[in-house]
Amino acid sequence: MVEYQPKWVDEVLEPDGWSVSSGGVVTLGGVDVMEVARRHGTPAYLIDGKTVRARAAAYVRALKAAPPGSGAYFAMKSLAAVPLTRLLLEAGMGIDVVSYGEMLTALRAGAQGSQMILHGNNKSERELRRAVETGITVVIDGNRELERLEAVAGALRRRAQALLRLSPGIEAHTHSYILTGGEENKFGIPIVTGQAEALTLEVLASPWVELKGYHSHIGSQILEVEPFVLNARAVMAFAASVRERTGFWPQVVDLGGGLGIAYTEDDRPPAVAELVAAMLAEVESAARALGQRTPALWLEPGRSIVGGAGVTIYTVGERKRTPGGIEFVAVDGGMGDNPRMALYQAVYRGVLVNRVLEPPAARFTVAGRNCESGDLLTTDLALPEPRAGDILALFSTGAYTYSMASHYNRVPKAPVLWLEDGVVKTVVRRESEEELLAADAPPDALVRDGLEAATG
Ligand code: LLP
């Protein structure tokens, strides 16, 4: 079969696992995408299984060169679902969680506490208790948290395993909402003010908290290696200074996630192997300079595992042209299943699946179905003139879409489907409206006992 590649779609944007036959039949993971749309409906999040496996394997392989105890922990916030978590555990990853719900998801998937990291800038009592009971590494993100963690661990008479989250003052080029390594944000403890060192000394003095090492995550969708190396350097310099004062040397250095993916032809992310090798080299050389053992390297990739593996499919409906010339095409999903354009001005590439061989007619703005003018999925998308019933596929939508979905306008969440070797498996089924209504109190909950008369 001749593989046809529409020439207006840059090579880098064709998702791995995506293939177009000479007759215009589109498959993902060997599955006919139009068939998936017919069987499972739209909108739906499709995940190319092989791509996820390959990305996970790339991290696991790259970390083979790192000291024992090193590992890649999947940042579940990017795509949270029990079966996916299980698959990633089996692929050799650990799991990074940031709420009780994510913790339960990982535990249900079979994760051991030793395979998990708990994040959060304001963790609940319940989260801390469960983490200590289960042996999950807690990333301490503030003075009060240390006190609370000590109290919880003391009450359970069990030492908490902890990392300290540093704020290293590294600025990477990414959207300010997803930038976390600078000093002016809510995450981490600033190194520059001396607060990080002071807190480290407190943790080291605590009988109930065992400090395994340091953590620093500088942001997300980063497309250069350099900021990661600078981050490693900053963390190791901090480790050196604490060592000088106390003799403490970390067993673990966790450099977070953040590797970007290609959303448009302008995005050229470095390879996982290249990134990991660069960070490892920095950590090793800093340790060697002090004659210290190289700490285990932990990473927390999310987007770079699942982002590029995802394709969201929608059905085209309304079509409008504004007096100012905006070419709108509306689809049956929107900010409820993907808020990234509304939040970060994210831009996506995509195609009309059923008309993939047709040349584009114009550049379209894809609008969602939610009641909000800012409910857009992407702009400047080159498509043939869309017709009602066409199936639109948006690429690179595996990360921070389903996991950020909302019930705005009481639209149920779309299903997550796994496509691999010509087979479709359900990761998360489609929600129903009945499920949404199920949490509401009965209709008369507010109008009993004469309340209706009093207000009417
Ligand atoms: N570790 C920590 C402590 C994090 O805060 C994050 C992401 C990660 C790891 C994973 O980063 P990744 O490898 O996925 O870049 N909703 C935004 C992204 C928010 C990222 C939050 N933290 C978006 O849709 O772009």
| Catalytic positions, written as ranges | 371
The pLDDT of 83-104, averaged and rounded, is 98
pLDDT surpassing 70 at residue 450: no
In 3-state terms, what secondary structure has residue 205? Answer: helix
What digits encode the pLDDT tens for the residues 17-40? 999 999 999 999 999 999 999 999
- Quick check: 77 and 403 in contact, CB under 8 A? yes
* Closest Cα to atom 16 of ligand 1: 400
- Quick check: 165 and 181 in contact, CB under 8 A? no
- Output the pLDDT for position 2: 37
What digits encode the pLDDT tens for the residues 217-230? 999 999 999 999 99
Q: How confident is the model at residue 181 (pLDDT cuts 50, 70, 90)?
A: low
pLDDT surpassing 80 at residue 179: no
Between the CA of 78 and the centroid of ligand 1 the distance, in Å, is: 7
- The preferred substitution site among 231, 303, 304, 396 for testing ligand 1, maximizing ligand atoms within 8 Å of CB, is 303
- Output the pLDDT for position 448: 72
Ligand 1 contacts (CB < 6 A) are: 75, 77-78, 96, 119, 178, 180, 217, 220-221, 256-259, 300-304, 340, 344, 399-400
| CA proximity to 71, closest of 95, 97, 93 | 93
- Output the pLDDT for position 12: 47
Between the CA of 179 and the centroid of ligand 1 the distance, in Å, is: 9
- Output the pLDDT for position 176: 54
Domains of the chain plus CATH, in order, are 11-48+307-437 (2.40.37.10), 119-301 (3.20.20.10)
Between the CA of 172 and the centroid of ligand 1 the distance, in Å, is: 13
